[in-house]
Chains A and B, each alone.
Chain A
Amino acid sequence: MTQPTPAPTQASTSPAQFPVAERLAEIVGERHVLSRPSELLVYNSDGLPGYRRQPRLAVFPGTREETVAVVRLLAAEGLSFVPRGAGTGLSGGALADDIVVIGLHRLKKIISLDVANRRATVEPGVVNLRLNKHVAPHGLLYAPDPSSEAACTIGGNVAENAGGPHCLKYGVTLNHVLAITVLLPSGEVVELGSKVGERDGYDLRGAFIGSEGCFGLALDITVKLTPKPQTVRTLLADFTSIDQAAHVTSAIIASGIVPAALEFMDGPTIRVVEDSIYAASYPRDAEAILLIELDGLEAGVSADLEAVRRICLDGGARNVKVARDDAERMKLWQGRKKAFGAMGRLAPHLIVQDAVIPRTRLPEILATIRAISEKYGVVVCNVFHAGDGNLHPNIAYSADDPAESERVHKAMTEIMQACIDAGGSITGEHGVGLDKMGYMEAIFSESSLNAMCELRAVFDPERRSNPGKVVPVHACKEWHAVPGGRLRTGTSSLTDAPEPRPVEAEPSHPSAR
């Protein structure tokens, strides 16, 4: 649509001041380049709006050819950029600090579906749930199912190596991507992986998945599709103590049964979901529930169902309910998957962490989290992938209250430290982005961080794709060896060379909105 846009009345950036904006508009059309600060505001955050970075320009290519042309133009100009999908990420990974955002949400074609070989090739902007709806009539599914599946894109899933409840049994994005056509920041197009199966040589596809937009962007992605299981059963076990639910989780895993999903929600989370339109008839007075899904062949599932029910009851479950039909199953799952969004009912701002801990330490860590939340007087809502020990402590708070923000920040930092001390990692599926960069040096050695920098240099030697994320720049040995550091790549026709700024490491810090 070519809506006539009246001249801006307030201080703003006209395309004439930025020749590159005009040239981008020649590629993608005027409507798909944003340069006015007021229109760029909504692109200053992702799903974790405690972090805000204002981009300089946003460009939304509509085809593969346009995308290649955009990246080549930026390469020729030496401009840095950040690829962005649906902006549902939870680590500040898609934020562009005074550089160009390349929105890939318009690339939403499902290019091909090969039912016999169970694979599909999609553009990066295809929404996860849309792919699943497209393949469902053929008895197939795309297994990785992040809770944001109704909004997030496959391209974003690849960038973050996204997980989801069902990754306990089926594996994460990495296990379901066969091949990627990658557009390197230089503008070169390369094929990583193979649509037909394993090839010899280094697994560069594996390196690209989870690279958080730092290695370039995907033009198309070939994914593996999974046959729908013959039988699916979903159980809801409720407990009057968090500790019991945590021990039952460990007991189920120890029994050797591999559930398709094993999810944990605590009392505050249950109540916030029950207040929302996704109310799933979870018992409001429970202190914890486990949502357990078993799938496979009918005979095996029935046996496992009985075993899991017994473990829950023996472990102190008050009730174990089995969903009667698909409608009830979907309702139980919708409550779980929309829990994050429902936290807005508690307070205007939210931070969430993504630590992974050894599953045997679950009871002890949950007790520690409770103690920390009491110490700082904050309410932690725990809703997480218990089966693989991937915690998601959420704290709802008001960033307008500096004292509260400070307490929340301290509580989150202590929670993360406790997870690290327990032998855990800082992110299971949300990515490092901006949010967790400050913890990188706590869990990786200098030589590991250097190796990461060197790997990145293979894909993006000029560090123009999503600069300032994942690995703190000061941790890179060879970075210090380059005279001018960030200045060199930050220099552009967009702007006078800015002073190189230290990359902020504000772990979990909810900078005031």
Chain B
Amino acid sequence: MPGCALAGTPLADALPGINACVHCGFCLQACPTYLTLEDENDSPRGRIFLMRSLLEGTVKPDDPSVQQHIDQCLGCRACEPVCPSGVPYGQLLEATRATLREYRSTPFIARAILFVFAREWLLRPAMFFSRILAATPIPTLLSGIKGRLGFAMAMLASTGRSIERSRYQPVTRGERGSVATLRGCVMDGLFSETNRATRRVLAVNGYAIVAAPGQSCCGALHAHAGDLETARSLARRNIAAFGHSGAEFIAVNAAGCGAIMKEYGHLLKDDAEWHERAASMSARVRDVSELLAAAGPREGGPLPIRVTYDAPCHLEHAQRVTQAPFSVLAAIPGLELVPLHDSDQCCGSAGIYNLIEPETSDAVLAPKLANIRATGAPWVATGNPGCLMQIGAGLIRAEIPARAIHPVDLLDASYAAFGQ
């Protein structure tokens, strides 16, 4: 582009991706914020146009309305699998946010969360406190109050509502290879039982679990917010830790984390020292459902419940893993799968979006809850902590008699019913 107004920025680097857009508009109906806010500035085509205009200099990076439309993007990437030209929208969004960061301050809540997540010594006590709080009746009592505090309490309350199951000791021969699992931040802090279940069901299906000490937050939240430097430093720590583990596969049970870990190669593309290691690590990352589906998975004991499935955006659109979660659910005898209308639409969680842009998030969540209510299923399976808490909180606040659960927990309960 002649006379680029933002030369040398991450956005200028992303120009080839912007140029791939021919403005056909096929993305419009896939975009939850366009459908909700009904303004093309809040659509993929419109935001790409704004990105191009930033580079052309026809809009300025300190223009608050431009910042607002870029901020209002959920980053669900539902536009990517419908784009004939293959515009790498997720990467463009991150590059834009990284560029705009220079021109304004990040909201306080976002800064606080990102600060804590990047520091183990703050994250552990924060998660410990959340766990203690979740174990008290306080979140449930406060889950009905209006506004973000009530919603946050409902999110916490939803984490204590998994399925009852007995303990079993998995026996494995490890014939399918060695696996290290990502502990994660929220998964480790609030869904530790799901993390244990992940290791158990992988073991049952022939994977040998190996430890990967020294791992950290995946950096997805930082990258989505445009803090690429922190994201890169977290990525390097994980590449070192998982490299050292020697595991053949890296299993991730949080779709958002899996998506960025599969893209570490891109994140570190300009880092001569780390790029190759990043790309080779990315190639070994699998969503837990992919590893299970590759193994069958083994059928469990009967679990006669009705379940509907909601696809996490970062599994469905970013990782393009669409069928594997159904294989997991199909391995559970007695489980009745009820189809969910628009299950590929975002639930409005989008990392910390639901805390930063609460009104849009609520508007995106509303049709999701209505569709879940229409299924009549008491369980909603979805494989990402953000979605588990967003949908879980929504169900509590809308008084819908259903609970959100990770598919791995259902498979684990099925194996438990068998005594493995």
Interface residues of A (CB under 8 A from B): 1-3, 5-10, 31-32, 34, 36, 38-39, 41-43, 45-49, 60, 62, 86-88, 103, 105-106, 127, 129-130, 148, 150-152, 273, 275-278, 338-345, 347-350, 400, 513
Contacts and interface: CB of A to CB of B under 8 A. Distances in A.
Contact of B72 (A3, A60, A105): A3
B96 to A, nearest CB: 14
Looking at B40, B62, B84, B87, which has the most chain A CB atoms within 10 Å of its CB? B84
Contact of B41 (A39, A278, A345, A513): A39
Contact of B24 (A31, A127, A275, A341): A341
A5 B23 contact: no
Given A41-B53, A343-B22, A151 B29 contact: yes
B58 interface: yes
Given A42-B46, A42-B49, A86 B28 contact: yes
A207 B33 CA distance: 37
A345 B85 contact: yes
Nearest to B84: A341
Given A3-B72, A105-B38, A41 B58 contact: yes
Nearest to B85: A344
Given A1-B360, A5-B68, A38-B66, 15 more contacts: A1-B363, A3-B360, A5-B64, A10-B63, A38-B53, A38-B60, A38-B63, A42-B45, A43-B40, A49-B22, A344-B84, A344-B85, A348-B19, A350-B22, A400-B1
Interface in B18-38: 19-29, 36-38
B40 A42 contact: yes
Contact of A1 (B64, B87, B359): B359
Interface string B77-94: 000011111110000000
Contacts of B39: 31-32, 34, 39, 60
A32 B59 CA distance: 21
A345 B86 contact: yes
Interface string B53-79: 100101110111110110010000000
Contact of A348 (B20, B45, B359): B20
Contacts of B313: none
A340 B24 contact: yes
Contact of B359 (A2, A46, A87, A127): A2
Contacts of B60: 9-10, 38
Contacts of B24: 47, 88, 148, 151, 340-341
Given A1-B37, A1-B359, A1-B360, A38 B25 contact: no
Contacts of A342: 84-85
Nearest to B49: A42
A347 B52 CA distance: 15
A145 to B, nearest CB: 14
A49 B23 contact: yes
Interface of B: 1-2, 19-29, 36-41, 45-46, 49-50, 52-53, 56, 58-60, 62-66, 68-69, 72, 81-87, 359-360, 363
B151 to A, nearest CB: 16
7 tightest A-B CB contacts, nearest first: A344-B85, A341-B84, A348-B19, A341-B24, A342-B84, A338-B84, A42-B46
Contacts of B45: 42
Highest count of chain B CB atoms <10 Å: which of A38, A49, A62, A345: A38
A47 B318 CA distance: 26
A45 B46 CA distance: 11
A41 B29 contact: no
B65 A38 contact: yes
A466 to B, nearest CB: 19
A106 B83 contact: no
B339 to A, nearest CB: 14
B203 to A, nearest CB: 36
Most A CB atoms within 10 A — which of B60, B66, B85, B363?
Answer: B85
A348 B85 CA distance: 10
Contacts of A400: 1-2
Contacts of B69: 39
Contact of A3 (B2, B20, B359): B359
28 contacts: A1-B37, A1-B359, A3-B68, A3-B72, A38-B66, A39-B39, A39-B65, A39-B69, A41-B49, A41-B58, A42-B46, A42-B50, A46-B23, A47-B25, A48-B23, A49-B23, A86-B28, A87-B25, A87-B40, A88-B24, A130-B29, A276-B84, A277-B81, A341-B85, A343-B22, A343-B85, A344-B22, A349-B22
A47 B23 contact: yes
Given A10-B62, A42-B40, A345-B20, A151 B81 contact: no
Nearest to B360: A1
Nearest to B69: A39
B25 A41 contact: no
A338 B26 CA distance: 8
A118 to B, nearest CB: 25
Nearest to A401: B2
A455 to B, nearest CB: 30
Nearest to B43: A42
Nearest to A275: B86
Contacts of B50: 38, 41-42
Contacts of B26: 148, 150-151, 338, 341
A278 B22 CA distance: 16
